[in-house]
Structure 1
Amino acid sequence: MTEKTAKEKTISTQYAELNRFSQNGEYERVLKAANKILGVAPQEFLAFQCKIVSLIQLSKFEEAITLLNKNPQFFQYLVFEKAYCYYRANKPEDALKVIEQSEEEIDFRTKELRAQVLYRLEKFDESAQIYHEIIKNADDDYEDERYTNLMAVMVYMDTEENESNIEDLRDNTYELCYNKACLLIESGNYSEAEKKLRQCEKLCREVLEEDETTEEEIDIELALIRIQLGFVYQKQGRIKEAHQLYVTNLKAKLDDIALMAVASNNVVCINKDQNLFDSKKKMKVALNDALVYKLPSKQRKYIAVNNAIFNYYINQIDQCEKACKMIDENWSELSIQATVIRALNLFKSGKAKEAINLLKNCKSEGDQLYINLCIAQLLLIEARLHNSCKILENLGENSYKPGIVGALTTLYLGIGDEETALKVFEKTVEFYKKNKIKDVDLSSLWRQAAEFHIRNGHPQVAANSLEELLRANKEDKKITAQLVLACSQFDKERALKLSKELPTISELSKEVDVESLQTISSSTINYKKSPAVKPESLPGTPREDSAKKTKKHKKRKGKLPKNYDASAQPDPERWLPKYERTGYRKKRDRRLKEVIKGSQGTASGQAEQYDFSKYVEEAIDSAGPAASVDPSPKIAKVQQHPQKKGQQKRKNKRR
């Protein structure tokens, strides 16, 4: 057998093996068979292509890239494979370059890969345009997958353009339903998003149960939907429900790092300055380095801001400063937030002047109001009320906003400067009268101004505020009544004219049910028992002897004791019982034996030495305070009862 025939035989046998292994999904064997063919025939394109595909299936993307770079002669035939390897190796820029270098017309699968690469590079408009083009021209069974990817791109596009098209989008699969819910979340329609997520959970469970998936695997698959539902709850203010969903789904064995990071970040937001140990563990999960390729920059920058705030809470000053610098380097649009966090960090470390100067040096046209309010807040914390008021007054047109006007008046009233507070209201009223601004709802401002001026004795200024309030609420008769009361103090004719617009008593009492009011009043009033009145004493029935005065009973004089001497001074102890008086002598009971102190033969001077009763009393007193001990304890006297006569006689008989 010649070399040529042997070579052809090995190639044919290895291709047969390669075909069999590829059908069974044994890619390691496919790789060995392809290497044998390429060892005999290095320019065999089909074997080379099978080798690249098997490397892709085995997730050996770097090895496939090096192999493709060594064989540039096959580049035009393997554009998709090379671009896909770069995409999976987290190199989207190189993947896009490979696609753009291709000279031949790109097929549908390469176009889809390009749309996905543009999505990864956050060029959402270009990506959506390619998907629209593919959906129009393609005719295969992957239409639902393309719609799913298109809706995923639309989530990060301009929401105003998408709001009108959301209702027309499909939701027949759970992936489409989930992406539609994400679009509703971006537009701020959280109630409809909640309904869609519930529908998505139901569809997903039905599909997985048809495939006979275990309950544990179903819970892992549903974790994405439930965590997104937790975010909807959090935005609606249902914090406890959101926290429970996050915690329960994080306990599942999730493989998606991005999903775990999002849930952990949201838990840290809920915890704020509480449960710091738990937040520290969650923040480590959210700051995984692999998230650079898993999450878009919009989500990663929010995690970075939350990390800086968390370091501020746990008093990690250096770590907080590093986090703020990282935000400045990567996301310039968040430089204002980073500056504010840095200023708070300095303020917390006792550098108040440096913090305020840092905020003053921060120049941003759009967020200057936010910066000034932060400065005012720091000055308030330092109790520099006058300086804070000056900053709020020098905000230009923003100083006339209702919230800032309310803060200024509150501060001036707290200082005790009512005149300046009045001037603030007067300036605000004049500003809105001159400019005639209609976009802002000022009803609360006019009402507060009117009440404030009435309290301080300025009815004319209060009337101006009530007039402005009446223009917005013409049918409110309470405002008219307040205006009548205000005008009655300085313009009675005008008050009379306005009073004619008020409803009459008959009009007010039309809808009043008198009987129901009487029943309510009778049930609520508590009647007290009054003394019985005799018919003779009722008015209109005078008695004949009513003119006679009633006789008053005189008090009787107390009886004096016998032999009473008025000149003698009474005994001061006359009200005390006999046994408590000073001259009382207690009879000694002979039956009781006297207490013998000391032993027989002891000298009388040594009696106190052997008397231990006083030592017991001293030990109790020096025991210190306790909750249930009397501070001045006394030894209780034992009462000895004398024996009865019958018992004494029986004892004598026994003897």
Structure 2
Amino acid sequence: MVAQSLSSLLQRSTIDDHEEVLHSCEAALANSRSDVNAQYIKTIALLKLDRYGEALRVIEDGGDALKKRASLEYAYSLYKVGQLDQALDTLTKSSGGRGAQHLEAQVSYRAEQFRRAAGLYEQLSQDKEAHRHEENDLSINSWATDAQLQWKGESQYVRHERPSREDLESFETTFNAACLTIAKGALPQGEVLLNRAKNICQTSEDLTPEERAAELLPITVQNLYVLIRLGKTEEAEALLKEISVDNIPELSTKKIAQNNIVLARQTATNPFILYKSLNSTPDPTNNDRLFDFQANALLGNSHAADLLVQKYDGMIRSTAKALSKSPCPSTEASTNLQAVYNAAGHAQGQDGAKALKKILPLLERRPKDIGLLLTVVQLHVNAGNTTSAITVMERSLRSLEESISEADQDARFNPGLLSALISLYQLEGRKLQIRSTLKAAASYWQKKPEAPASLLQAAATSLLHSDDKSDLAKAGDIFRSLHQQDPADQVAIAGYVASQATLDYSQVESQLDRLPSVSDLTADVDVSVLESAGIMPSASLAAAAFAKARKRTAADKEGGATKRVRHSRMPKNYDEAKKPDPERWLPLRDRSSYRPKGKKGKQRAAERTQGGVVNESLDSSQQKASAAGGGGGGSSNKNKKKKGKR
């Protein structure tokens, strides 16, 4: 009976008539609920009809037998409803062959495990015979994965550099190459590639008008983003006519398009209209949700609009709820962004010292909140108080260091957090603190399987400037480990040679041949240009020269613009055409124009003038008497009686 039902089912099924297949399966399962074949075909029919939730329920109700047979369909259903972790777990346990690898790569991409997805696409591309008919799809997906790796900040794992001629023949590959270029920050080149992808799509004969319109939407939305970033306002406004938000089926694309349209139209003049426009589109969910870097940008726009309409209390509650669900400390961008806007809500639109007064108590209660910590540090730096910023940061890092939690230790030595601290140290010239901080971080990360190479390289380079032999030995160990990870790393080889040359030259003598010669390094250096350009001064000399240039000398002040004096400050009967007396600041008797009146006045002036002409007509006795008289107690009064009280 079951065999006859399945036979009639298969005879009546067609490629396009999935509803009929579904009805036949229902009729077969009405007689036997445990018919695995009917359940399996029903699952496929539901998947063809995009009814993924129902397909998932059929598989789960069918038990282990159906899950084993329909493992690939089960994983695909989980993927389409957004249960990505469970889908990956199912694919790991299954042996579905090449199809399962494709699905695993797609699920990994959607779960933002881009390195895993890139590795899977690389494996699929190795089999040249099997991927002959998949070459275009693999190229499209690998370009998209590299773009996401670049957006996530993992550029060291990006495989593609620039698109080939074959890549530019397909609008999908060209569009993904444009996305990678935009992620690298090369916006003009990205705009060129987007226009090429748009032209290829518009002239494609393989697409129906409906398919062409659907493919052009994401290209146009991405182009709008680039035009806004480049400041091409008029071109962005002209492009708005090609975008109809209501006709975009995917909620994620619709949300991004709505945000870009609002920014292009510059509705910020009325914050309430801006707030309403940004929140007019529902948030995407399940498999259509935004990637992290997209969600963070839109979250920032939404909270910025909250601040503009003064929804401080609501923003504090929403961000506090999100922070309560996240671990603390966290190095995730989304979590720290919530912390920043939580602090902004407490500041209530204030800045500087007033904002710090309200935010510092929050940091005392949440010393491990990295987003809040960096907000306080930024406010101190903006106020020019670098010392307080360093103090606050060291206090929070000390609380993390005292913890026994591995997550706290990872946050304590996070490369991004340490780079902020080192930048503050550099502003104050604290070279010893920089060296000790990098040395401690290198000691910590060397014990980890995936140590950040950039941090280890910076730490080893800093230790090369130390006079301590133990620091040089530590630098040599770090450079040696970096060289083992990447034998082609010239910086690691040079650093190892520099660290060991003064300790044990015989250990590095064999490595000298692997370094480029001085003539090769200076082959393209034009000495005459360097001589004409001069030698760039050090930072301290440049600062001193700048400070000296800021000071105005008296000659500069006389030659420069004169300061305008108010009329009430002018002397009486002041005449601008008359040149002022240059001796007006001297006492009256010291001026060259001074002429004493009377005989006694002239005599006193002559006696008072030092270095003046001596009157030769006076004899020596007169001069002596004059000198004696000038002392205040002459001998002529010796014999006089003193007057006393009677």
TM-score by length of 1: 0.54
- Once residues 343 and 131 of structure 1 are traced to their aligned partners in structure 2, the CA distance between those partners, rounded to angstroms, is 43
- Once residues 349 and 211 of structure 1 are traced to their aligned partners in structure 2, the CA distance between those partners, rounded to angstroms, is 52
Q: 1:236 aligns with which of 225, 230, 239?
A: 230
The residue number in structure 1 matching 2:147 is 155
**Which amino acid in structure 2 is aligned with residue 98 of structure 1?**
T
Q: 1:299 aligns with which of 278, 294, 298?
A: 294
Q: 1:172 aligns with which of 169, 174, 180?
A: 169
**Which amino acid in structure 1 is aligned with residue 81 of structure 2?**
A
Give secondary structure in 1 for the equivalent of 2:167: coil
2:376/2:389 contact within 8 Å kept: no
The residue number in structure 1 matching 2:332 is 333
**Which amino acid in structure 2 is aligned with residue 213 of structure 1?**
P
Give secondary structure in 1 for the equivalent of 2:269: coil
The residue number in structure 2 matching 1:311 is 306
2:89 counterpart of 1:94: no
2:194/2:223 contact within 8 Å kept: yes
2:336/2:371 contact within 8 Å kept: no
Q: Deviations over 1:408-437 (max 9, x none)?
A: xxxxxxxxxxxxxxxxxxxxxxxxxx99x9
The residue number in structure 1 matching 2:243 is 249
2:106 counterpart of 1:106: no
- Once residues 347 and 41 of structure 2 are traced to their aligned partners in structure 1, the CA distance between those partners, rounded to angstroms, is 64
Q: Deviations over 1:448-478 (max 9, x none)?
A: 434213447899xxxxxxxxxxxxxxxxxxx
Q: Percent identity?
A: 18
Matches within 5 A, 1:355-366: 355-360=355-360, 362=363
2:56/2:78 contact within 8 Å kept: yes
Provide the aligned C-alpha RMSD in A. Answer: 4.1
The residue number in structure 1 matching 2:70 is 78
Residue 58 of structure 1: how far off its partner (Å): 2.3
Residue 294 of structure 1: how far off its partner (Å): 2.3
- Once residues 171 and 227 of structure 2 are traced to their aligned partners in structure 1, the CA distance between those partners, rounded to angstroms, is 20
1:45/1:74 contact within 8 Å kept: yes
- Once residues 428 and 103 of structure 2 are traced to their aligned partners in structure 1, the CA distance between those partners, rounded to angstroms, is 53
Matches within 5 A, 1:410-559: 448-455=546-553
2:117 counterpart of 1:123: no
**Which amino acid in structure 2 is aligned with residue 297 of structure 1?**
D
The residue number in structure 1 matching 2:285 is 290
**Which amino acid in structure 1 is aligned with residue 427 of structure 2?**
N
Residue 333 of structure 1: how far off its partner (Å): 3.3
2:174/2:193 contact within 8 Å kept: yes
1:86/1:92 contact within 8 Å kept: yes
Structure 1 gap ranges (5+): 1-6, 380-386, 402-433, 460-655
- Once residues 444 and 193 of structure 1 are traced to their aligned partners in structure 2, the CA distance between those partners, rounded to angstroms, is 38
Q: How many residues align?
A: 404
- Once residues 352 and 547 of structure 2 are traced to their aligned partners in structure 1, the CA distance between those partners, rounded to angstroms, is 35
The residue number in structure 2 matching 1:189 is 186
The verdict on how the C-alpha distance between 1:32 and 1:140 changes in structure 2, with shifts beyond 3 A counting, is farther
The residue number in structure 2 matching 1:648 is none
The verdict on how the C-alpha distance between 1:200 and 1:275 changes in structure 2, with shifts beyond 3 A counting, is farther
The residue number in structure 1 matching 2:10 is 18
- Once residues 447 and 213 of structure 1 are traced to their aligned partners in structure 2, the CA distance between those partners, rounded to angstroms, is 67
Q: Which has the higher contact order (CA 8 A, sep 6+)?
A: 2
TM-score by length of 2: 0.54
Residue 353 of structure 1: how far off its partner (Å): 6.9
Residue 80 of structure 1: how far off its partner (Å): 0.5
2:71/2:91 contact within 8 Å kept: yes
Structure 2 gap ranges (5+): 392-423, 431-464, 467-534, 558-646
**Which amino acid in structure 1 is aligned with residue 42 of structure 2?**
K
- Once residues 17 and 389 of structure 1 are traced to their aligned partners in structure 2, the CA distance between those partners, rounded to angstroms, is 77
**Which amino acid in structure 1 is aligned with residue 274 of structure 2?**
S
- Once residues 7 and 553 of structure 2 are traced to their aligned partners in structure 1, the CA distance between those partners, rounded to angstroms, is 99
**Which amino acid in structure 2 is aligned with residue 175 of structure 1?**
E
The verdict on how the C-alpha distance between 1:340 and 1:375 changes in structure 2, with shifts beyond 3 A counting, is farther
The residue number in structure 2 matching 1:63 is 54
Residue 269 of structure 1: how far off its partner (Å): 4.9
1:68/1:75 contact within 8 Å kept: yes
- Once residues 224 and 131 of structure 1 are traced to their aligned partners in structure 2, the CA distance between those partners, rounded to angstroms, is 23
- Once residues 211 and 30 of structure 1 are traced to their aligned partners in structure 2, the CA distance between those partners, rounded to angstroms, is 28
Residue 205 of structure 1: how far off its partner (Å): 0.7
Residue 212 of structure 1: how far off its partner (Å): 4.9
The residue number in structure 1 matching 2:419 is none
- Once residues 41 and 175 of structure 1 are traced to their aligned partners in structure 2, the CA distance between those partners, rounded to angstroms, is 46
Give secondary structure in 1 for the equivalent of 2:139: helix
The residue number in structure 2 matching 1:223 is 217
Residue 204 of structure 1: how far off its partner (Å): 0.6
Give secondary structure in 1 for the equivalent of 2:185: coil
2:177/2:193 contact within 8 Å kept: yes
Residue 154 of structure 1: how far off its partner (Å): 1.5
1:18/1:29 contact within 8 Å kept: no
1:276/1:314 contact within 8 Å kept: yes
Q: Deviations over 1:312-337 (max 9, x none)?
A: 01111122213433553457534554
- Once residues 331 and 542 of structure 2 are traced to their aligned partners in structure 1, the CA distance between those partners, rounded to angstroms, is 38
Residue 365 of structure 1: how far off its partner (Å): 8.1
Q: Deviations over 1:164-192 (max 9, x none)?
A: 63345823211111111111111111121
**Which amino acid in structure 1 is aligned with residue 215 of structure 2?**
E
Larger-Rg structure? 1
Which of 306-315 and 391-400 deviates more? 391-400
The residue number in structure 2 matching 1:143 is 135
- Once residues 342 and 172 of structure 1 are traced to their aligned partners in structure 2, the CA distance between those partners, rounded to angstroms, is 48
Residue 118 of structure 1: how far off its partner (Å): 1.4
Residue 248 of structure 1: how far off its partner (Å): 4.7
2:121/2:142 contact within 8 Å kept: yes
The residue number in structure 2 matching 1:515 is none
The verdict on how the C-alpha distance between 1:336 and 1:181 changes in structure 2, with shifts beyond 3 A counting, is same
2:9/2:25 contact within 8 Å kept: no
**Which amino acid in structure 2 is aligned with residue 32 of structure 1?**
H
Residue 241 of structure 1: how far off its partner (Å): 3.0
The verdict on how the C-alpha distance between 1:443 and 1:164 changes in structure 2, with shifts beyond 3 A counting, is farther
1:308/1:324 contact within 8 Å kept: no
- Once residues 97 and 238 of structure 1 are traced to their aligned partners in structure 2, the CA distance between those partners, rounded to angstroms, is 46
Residue 147 of structure 1: how far off its partner (Å): 1.9
2:252/2:288 contact within 8 Å kept: no
